[in-house]
Structure 1
């Protein structure tokens, strides 16, 4: 993505609900779509490109996935993209939308995400096991009982073994998220916690405690990306993607580094395209399914050296206005929202708030003009999609 923008992000909306009892999956997609379009100053009739992932076909949703949602929304399309890479999909979709607009496939692109696992009382562990039973690798892995919590626990334990990282340092990531969440009226966990609170919460998968884990929430969000000719007529802040990267990291037949996520590649690609460095980034939205997820991404993206993540996050290192780098100023998946067990959309939305100077005043980065969002879809320590995007506010 060159710096002379091919498209701009003109609309963003995060659904306020965290428990969608009484709302269908289709209704959530419709509400976030209309919210983002209203934010942009556009209508559903303006949309000619639609981007979505597998969340359009939830457990209670009939029909044929994206085609049914297109009909439900009443979209008149020239372009459809249903790329599925789980939590990284919505960051990857922004790159796809820019490419589609540049190629003349559409002029106004809509990206939606929605989910209601909390209302359905659906366990991520049960979901993982159900899906794993039908995959090519299941016969080789299921006998060992891998589930999302113990795979991330294994990553944390390895980081401690190799680099001397401590549970106190991991806890600081949750503490930072809670300091931000206290200013978010929609956050699921708005109470400020201490390192001691995290360490005193029950062990889930050693060394991870309950408060090292993200919330399970309903809701979702949406983005609108528009051609420059459209965007400049809307009188909205002009947010342009200037660098991006995407890859799939997998186990490579057992020859892999458990602490090297796809972010090693996607971060390098995004920074090279944007012609900036990690030290130039003023705000970062980092996927936070667990505290260890954030620590590994900080290292993999180049914000600190491998093994230095624990020292980087300690003592408020991620708290806006206090630390070295403001991270997840909405409270992130650890405290605010992880809709449908997919956090990429909310990472984009808070980055856009920061660039627009629309974050809460207590967490707003002054004069924020350069932000990064990174998403992991799948699991660190196993197969996952990885997407990084760098955004700039155009003066």
Structure 2
């Protein structure tokens, strides 16, 4: 019986393509927090810690959100690592709970995007993009990841049909997720017929930008069924942007991650990988040891398409949508939900162990931040 902290609640708002007037980042974050606390059976008065990630909450910050939520805190943290924020917050919150700095911590990530909001975020993403990419007419991540996808195809023999099979499989999972942006079935023909965005990337290789928020509730001394953190790892700025982009920072810490967990890739019942593009989802699966780098087409056909390895069971960002920083919590929340046994129609029977990854903050060429967490179900 684990005597340490545990995840006891998950909350996620619907992914909104066209938010109603009056909807904003603060209201979405508040909604996700309420949903997570309801899922945990707790009241706001029981929360004494808050970890928050958002691109669009400004000028407000985590402490402003605490005031809006009526929370009095002993622990407060804000993170700005994009797709890697959720697991980074989880790691810090876990240490805080173990150290007695808080008893109940809510982690939340959320963003609200209008068309103008997203254009502004891309245009001001970082100084390097402004100085070196924008003058070349390279706006946003699509051109960069198109080149990475081309490289992956040349190296591994992957075809567009293989990426399509991954997208079709994730859309099938999304069909059972009421919060997903896209729930209608997707065929391989529809995937291949979608307009090209930046060859070889088609529209369905790119995440739909949505508004939304996601939250987790952690307790220092959980009662009943909960999810524990068996191991975690992180690697930031792993190669000074001098690699090929197809090996993430996860590769550098994966052996230590599995050793700490006392488990291996074959023990995982469910996986949630950061899927800003199919190529990067596959890269992370390889880095974790869940997929063979020398037979990715076969892996997709045998393991992903058949659900032999349940990957991104809420649809992933490619179907559920990317709500800014909430996209980085999407996979983590879904793995926790599966292990808690609260995934509804998409529940993986008997799921006890899972792994989630974070990836993000694209510099000149690819993401600088990568992390992962191995989670386990603990019964009462």
Shared fold (TM-score, shorter chain, > 0.5): yes
Deviations 1:43-69 (A, max 9, x none): 1111111111243x53xx544x22211
Q: CA deviation at 1:202?
A: 0.7
Q: CA deviation at 1:343?
A: 1.2
Cα distance in structure 2, aligned partners of 1:136 and 1:334: 27
Gaps of 5+ in 2: none
Kept in 1: contact 2:110–2:214 (CA 8 A):
yes
Query: In structure 2, what is the equivalent of residue 244 of structure 1?
Result: 232
- Aligned mate of 1:334, from 303, 313, 318: 318
Query: In structure 1, what is the equivalent of residue 301 of structure 2?
Result: 314
Query: In structure 1, what is the equivalent of residue 350 of structure 2?
Result: 367
Query: In structure 2, what is the equivalent of residue 256 of structure 1?
Result: 243
Moved more, 15-24 or 384-393: 15-24
Kept in 1: contact 2:194–2:203 (CA 8 A):
yes
Kept in 1: contact 2:54–2:111 (CA 8 A):
no
Cα distance in structure 2, aligned partners of 1:77 and 1:23: 26
Query: In structure 2, what is the equivalent of residue 131 of structure 1?
Result: 125
Q: CA deviation at 1:250?
A: 5.4
**Helix, strand or coil: the match of 1:131?**
coil
Q: Is the alpha carbon distance of 1:348 and 1:104 closer, same or farther for their aligned partners in structure 2, counting shifts above 3 Å?
A: same
Deviations 1:223-266 (A, max 9, x none): 111012xx12xx4x2211101011213552x5323211122134
Across the aligned residues of Structure 1 and Structure 2, the Cα RMSD in angstroms comes to 2.1
Cα distance in structure 2, aligned partners of 1:136 and 1:183: 40
Q: Is the alpha carbon distance of 1:153 and 1:325 closer, same or farther for their aligned partners in structure 2, counting shifts above 3 Å?
A: same
Gaps of 5+ in 1: none
Counterpart mapping for 1:94-109 below 5 A: 94-109=90-105
Deviations 1:126-163 (A, max 9, x none): 5222223xx25643444344421111111110011122
Deviations 1:84-107 (A, max 9, x none): 211111122111111001111111
Cα distance in structure 2, aligned partners of 1:41 and 1:13: 12
Cα distance in structure 2, aligned partners of 1:224 and 1:185: 21
Query: In structure 1, what is the equivalent of residue 29 of structure 2?
Result: 29
**Helix, strand or coil: the match of 1:52?**
strand
Q: CA deviation at 1:351?
A: 0.7
Kept in 1: contact 2:82–2:324 (CA 8 A):
no
Cα distance in structure 1, aligned partners of 2:209 and 2:128: 28
Cα distance in structure 2, aligned partners of 1:278 and 1:331: 21
Query: In structure 1, what is the equivalent of residue 268 of structure 2?
Result: 281
1:112 aligns with 2:108: yes
**Helix, strand or coil: the match of 1:10?**
strand
Cα distance in structure 2, aligned partners of 1:368 and 1:192: 25
Cα distance in structure 2, aligned partners of 1:62 and 1:140: 27
Kept in 2: contact 1:172–1:314 (CA 8 A):
yes
Cα distance in structure 1, aligned partners of 2:260 and 2:239: 27
Counterpart mapping for 1:100-249 below 5 A: 100-117=96-113, 120-122=114-116, 124=118, 126-132=120-126, 135=127, 138-146=130-138, 147-228=140-221, 231-232=222-223, 235=224, 237-249=225-237
TM-score when normalising by structure 2:
0.92
**Helix, strand or coil: the match of 1:98?**
helix
Query: In structure 2, what is the equivalent of residue 20 of structure 1?
Result: 19
Q: Is the alpha carbon distance of 1:126 and 1:155 closer, same or farther for their aligned partners in structure 2, counting shifts above 3 Å?
A: farther
Deviations 1:71-128 (A, max 9, x none): 11121111111132111111221111110011111111111112111xx224645522
Moved more, 91-100 or 140-149: 140-149
Kept in 1: contact 2:174–2:313 (CA 8 A):
yes
**Helix, strand or coil: the match of 1:314?**
helix
Kept in 2: contact 1:283–1:351 (CA 8 A):
yes
Query: In structure 1, what is the equivalent of residue 42 of structure 2?
Result: 42
Cα distance in structure 2, aligned partners of 1:126 and 1:288: 22
**Helix, strand or coil: the match of 1:220?**
strand
Query: In structure 2, what is the equivalent of residue 89 of structure 1?
Result: 85
Kept in 2: contact 1:36–1:222 (CA 8 A):
yes
Kept in 2: contact 1:251–1:383 (CA 8 A):
no
Cα distance in structure 1, aligned partners of 2:149 and 2:298: 15
Deviations 1:30-50 (A, max 9, x none): 111111112111111111111
TM-score when normalising by structure 1:
0.89
Q: Is the alpha carbon distance of 1:114 and 1:368 closer, same or farther for their aligned partners in structure 2, counting shifts above 3 Å?
A: same
Kept in 2: contact 1:173–1:291 (CA 8 A):
yes
Q: CA deviation at 1:180?
A: 1.0
